[in-house]
Amino acid sequence: MPAARFVEQLNAQIGNELGAHNQYLSVAVHFDALTMPRMAAFFYGQALEERDHAMMMVQYLLDTDAHIAIPGVDAPESTFVDVVAPLELAVDQEKRVTEQINTLLRIAREENDFASEQFMQWFIKEQVEEVATMSDLLTVVLRNRDDIEDIEEYVAREHGGDRSDGMAPRIAGA
C-alpha cells in the first residue's frame, strides 16, 4: 500500500488533473467558437488526455487498495480576449502541474514508497513533453496571432497524428 501522505496528495492531484481537463475543454470551446477546428480538436484531445491522467491515478490507487476521494474542482476560465490568452494559460497550467507532479515524486521518495515513485516516473516524462508542446504552440501563436490559417496549418502539421504511449499507466475504466 502506498504511503498515506502520498495517497492524500495523489487524491488531490486527481482533482488537479480533472480541473485541467475542464480548463482545456473550455479552451477547445473557445477555439471552436472562433472556427479554428484544428486548435479546437487539439485542445479537445488535451482535455481527454488530462482526464486520462486522472484515471491513471485512480487505477493506481485501486491497484494498491488505497483510499480514493475524487475532489471537486473550480470552474475553468472561459472568457479569453484573443487567440494568445488560452495558450498563455495552458503554459502556466502545465508548469503548475509539473510542480505538483514533482511534489508527488518528492513525497514518494521521502516516504520510501518505491512503487509510487516508479509510478510517478511516467508523469515526469509526460510533463516535460507537455510544457514543451504548449510553449512551442504559444510561440507559434504569438508569431501568427493575426494569421489564424498559419496557426491551424502548424497544428495540423505538428499535432495531427496519434500520440499514444504504450508505456503509459493503465487508465481506470478503459
**What cell numbers appear for 107 in the block?**
513525497
Place of cell 499514444: 164
161 DSSP assignment: S
- C-alpha 81/C-alpha 153 separation (Å) is 22
What type of residue sits at position 28? A
Note the pLDDT tens digit of each residue in 75-119: 999 999 999 999 999 999 999 999 999 999 999 999 999 999 999
Contact (Cβ atoms closer than 8 angstroms) between residue 122 and residue 114: no
Contact (Cβ atoms closer than 8 angstroms) between residue 92 and residue 45: no
Place of cell 507537455: 130
Note the pLDDT tens digit of each residue in 50-70: 999 999 999 999 999 999 999
163 pLDDT band, cuts 50/70/90, is: low
- The fold adopted by the segment(s) 4-159 is Ferritin (1.20.1260)
Place of cell 502541474: 97
- C-alpha 25/C-alpha 85 separation (Å) is 15
**What cell numbers appear for 8 in the block?**
492524500
> What CA–CA distances, in Å, run from 112 to 2, 37, 63, 106, 161?
9, 46, 19, 10, 39
Note the pLDDT tens digit of each residue in 122-142: 999 999 999 999 999 999 999
